[in-house]
Chain A
Amino acid sequence: MASEKEKDQYDYLFKFIIIGDAGAGKSCLLHQFIENRYKKGSSHTIGVEFGSKIIHVGGRNIKLQIWDTAGQERYRSVTRSYYRGAAGALIVYDITNRDSYNHLVNWLQDARTLARADTSIITVGNKCDMKDKRAVTFLEASRCAQENDILFLETSALTGEGVEDVFIKVARVILNKIEDGLIDPNTMVSGTHTGSQRIGSDSGGEAMSSKTCSC
């Protein structure tokens, strides 16, 4: 890990959260993105998992700090403290499971109220390799996303199809917002940071007076 730190050079740090119903494939999606392979025999997430990766978008190095949450309803009280300050949110549903799609609205509401008002949100229809069991059409989901003014993509965490695109797409939107002056990366609570603040600086500089979990 020490060696990783040396090459930990980035321009911006974006915090992402992955939310959605249990069994939609959130952890597999994250694993596919970080490790570039499918996570076999994985178990469900208890609480939250975490992953980070540096991607190159629009000539910038962006570090994504990704929080993968447990999907079961009753974990919401635990996971909601991790929404805070997220610059990007991935709402994952399973295209073979109608219920997980129907719950999109609830997740969307959570993301909007608990993260940031200007969080960039993408709906991710996962398991698109299972076309024969499809219960939600591409058109329907894409229309729903449009109505709610959020992005939409279909992915397969199994084959890796579309997975990287999801993260890059959201990162690009956030980057555009920063460059258009809609988001000031320096004033954010913890959703994005400029890299220069962190690299080589004493970590004490990061500590803010407010407490994390008292939302």
Chain B
Amino acid sequence: MKKSRRLGSGEDGGAATSEALAEPGQRPVAAELQPAEGAASARAPEGEAPGSAVASGAAPLSAAGLEATALEELQRARAGGRSEASAAEHDGPRERAQEQRPDSATAEEAEVESASPGAGPALPQGVGELIEADVLRTFPNNAAFQQMGGPDQLRRVLRQLALDDAELGYCQSLNFVAAVFIMVLREDRLALPAMRQTLVKLGARCWYTDGMRQLRADTVVLEDLVRARLPDVHRTFQIHRFDLLMVVSKWFLCLYATVMEGETLRRVWDAMLCDGVEALFRVALATLACREEAITQARSIDDLLHMFQDWTPGTGPGPEKLLRAAYDERLVGRLSRAWLAGQRRLAVQRVATADTRLEMRQQALWRGGVRPASVLAHG
């Protein structure tokens, strides 16, 4: 596990990310996150010194967000990509540290606005309203997000996402993911492709689609991992009949954006952008492992539920300990990408079968006691 060492001992979070991004044989995350439409505008002014960019980014972003690490690399790669076509993809990001987005991007924003329909009629009924309601409920107390015009950008990103992918549409929780991308990339036109590509990379699109099959499947995978690697925690869950889906839905769907903040969230997203969904599983296991003692002392399901709910941003074990644990082979064990992919596929099948059975049972109920087999026969 090369990567585990790197991230596990990562006193230098940003550098670790850059190395990982440049790892040969693996397509860099930055490149994957390059928006498809490419170099539309060649405006990449060099108004700000690199230091000031980070500093000015740090203040607003630290409240809920991310700054100088992988995500900023993406931003830089994007800025480079805009000015110098595709050269930025492999060896780019760090050399272009000077290039920052302009603070007055009004022209570009206007362009985006005209490109994505402001109040377009194409969204299905209810979706627009829901987005509207949630835009107002996304990080409402985060002054930085509000000041940078976050809500307006968020609205555009979510609407466009829903327009482009009707099946995905809009799922509550995507707003948090989009908001973090907006806070880091600072432009909705960058946040949108970043988001799309992240969903592809994580294999997470079907977390959000109707039925949330992949999410439920991944919960099953995580449950198996907990059983094998944190048996005491698993035993406690079983005794109190605690369902992991309850916390996993929050952790995974929001990519931890509502349960972590600041440096912790940055490091987790770094790991996620490098390693994909594997990192999310590792962090989930590490989160449980770091609190194993508290979990195993729970005396009822109420204790567990309150405990998980009280884990608000800032109460965690801290980024260093969490990431170390996530990549600690003694704690989390080996977790290869191929193995995980296989497990996820199997779990989806299991969940699908269970769904079919449930559906048949309900149909049988509605049809007045027809047995499942005969329902099948009738198609």
Q: Does A70 contact B (CB under 8 A)?
A: yes
Binds A, one of B76-84, B241-249, B312-320: B241-249
Chain B residues whose CB sits within 8 angstroms of the CB of A203 once the complex forms? 239-240, 299-300
Say whether B243 contacts A213, CB under 8 Å: yes
Give bound CA distance, A90 to B213, whole Å.
Answer: 26
Determine which of B134, B309, B358 lies in contact with A44 in the assembled complex, contact meaning CB atoms within 8 Å.
B134
Chain A residues whose CB sits within 8 angstroms of the CB of B358 once the complex forms? 215
Say whether B140 contacts A74, CB under 8 Å: no
The 9 closest A-B pairs by CB, nearest first: A47-B249, A50-B305, A212-B241, A41-B140, A43-B137, A74-B210, A213-B243, A207-B239, A46-B250
* Chain A contacts to B: CB under 8 angstroms: 1, 5, 22-23, 41-44, 46-50, 52, 65, 70, 72-75, 77-78, 81-82, 99, 113, 190, 198, 203-204, 206-208, 211-215
Residue of A nearest to B307 (CB): A1
Q: Does B163 contact A (CB under 8 A)?
A: no
How far is the CB of A108 from the nearest CB of chain B, in Å? 14
How far is the CB of B145 from the nearest CB of chain A, in Å? 12
Residue of B nearest to A74 (CB): B210
Determine which of A72, A198, A207 lies in contact with B241 in the assembled complex, contact meaning CB atoms within 8 Å.
A207
Q: Does B173 contact A (CB under 8 A)?
A: yes
Determine which of A50, A74, A208 lies in contact with B211 in the assembled complex, contact meaning CB atoms within 8 Å.
A74
Give bound CA distance, A72 to B131, whole Å.
Answer: 11
Q: Given A5-B299, A22-B133 in contact, is the A46-B306 Cβ separation under 8 Å?
A: no
Say whether A77 contacts B211, CB under 8 Å: yes
A/B interface sample: 6 pairs, CB < 8 A = A50-B246, A72-B171, A77-B210, A203-B240, A206-B241, A211-B241
Say whether A72 contacts B130, CB under 8 Å: yes
Say whether A78 contacts B140, CB under 8 Å: no
* Chain B contacts to A: CB under 8 angstroms: 126, 130, 133-134, 137-138, 140-141, 171-173, 208-213, 215-216, 238-243, 245-247, 249-250, 253-254, 258, 299-300, 302-303, 305-307, 309, 354-355, 358, 362, 365
Say whether B172 contacts A22, CB under 8 Å: yes
Say whether A207 contacts B238, CB under 8 Å: yes
Give bound CA distance, A91 to B209, whole Å.
Answer: 24
How far is the CB of B254 from the nearest CB of chain A, in Å? 6
How far is the CB of B123 from the nearest CB of chain A, in Å? 15
Chain B residues whose CB sits within 8 angstroms of the CB of A75 once the complex forms? 172, 212
Say whether B216 contacts A49, CB under 8 Å: no
Other A-B pairs, 18, CB within 8 Å; known A72-B172, A214-B354: A22-B130, A23-B133, A41-B140, A46-B172, A46-B250, A46-B254, A47-B250, A48-B249, A50-B246, A52-B306, A73-B210, A74-B171, A74-B211, A81-B245, A203-B239, A206-B300, A212-B242, A212-B243
How far is the CB of A10 from the nearest CB of chain B, in Å? 11
Chain B residues whose CB sits within 8 angstroms of the CB of A214 once the complex forms? 354
Say whether B215 contacts A78, CB under 8 Å: yes
Q: Which of B171, B172, B241, B358 has the most CB of A within 10 A?
A: B172
Give bound CA distance, A215 to B186, whole Å.
Answer: 44
Say whether A213 contacts B300, CB under 8 Å: no
Determine which of B211, B241, B254 lies in contact with A190 in the assembled complex, contact meaning CB atoms within 8 Å.
B241
Say whether A23 contacts B130, CB under 8 Å: yes
Give bound CA distance, A85 to B34, whole Å.
Answer: 48
How far is the CB of A44 from the nearest CB of chain B, in Å? 5
Residue of B nearest to A73 (CB): B210
Give bound CA distance, A40 to B211, whole Å.
Answer: 31
How far is the CB of B280 from the nearest CB of chain A, in Å? 15
Chain B residues whose CB sits within 8 angstroms of the CB of A82 once the complex forms? 243, 246
Say whether A78 contacts B306, CB under 8 Å: no
Chain B residues whose CB sits within 8 angstroms of the CB of A22 once the complex forms? 130, 133, 172
How far is the CB of B309 from the nearest CB of chain A, in Å? 6
Say whether B306 contacts A50, CB under 8 Å: yes
Residue of B nearest to A97 (CB): B129
Give bound CA distance, A70 to B215, whole Å.
Answer: 15
How far is the CB of A194 from the nearest CB of chain B, in Å? 14
Say whether A78 contacts B173, CB under 8 Å: no
Give bound CA distance, A73 to B240, whole Å.
Answer: 28
Residue of B nearest to A109 (CB): B366
How far is the CB of A26 from the nearest CB of chain B, in Å? 13
Residue of A nearest to B240 (CB): A203
Say whether A46 contacts B239, CB under 8 Å: no
Residue of A nearest to B253 (CB): A46
Chain A residues whose CB sits within 8 angstroms of the CB of B140 once the complex forms? 41, 43
Chain A residues whose CB sits within 8 angstroms of the CB of B246 once the complex forms? 47-48, 50, 82
Q: Given A46-B250, A46-B253 in contact, is the A208-B141 Cβ separation under 8 Å?
A: no
Say whether B309 contacts A49, CB under 8 Å: yes
Determine which of B241, B245, B365 lies in contact with A208 in the assembled complex, contact meaning CB atoms within 8 Å.
B241
Determine which of B141, B173, B209 lies in contact with A46 in the assembled complex, contact meaning CB atoms within 8 Å.
B173
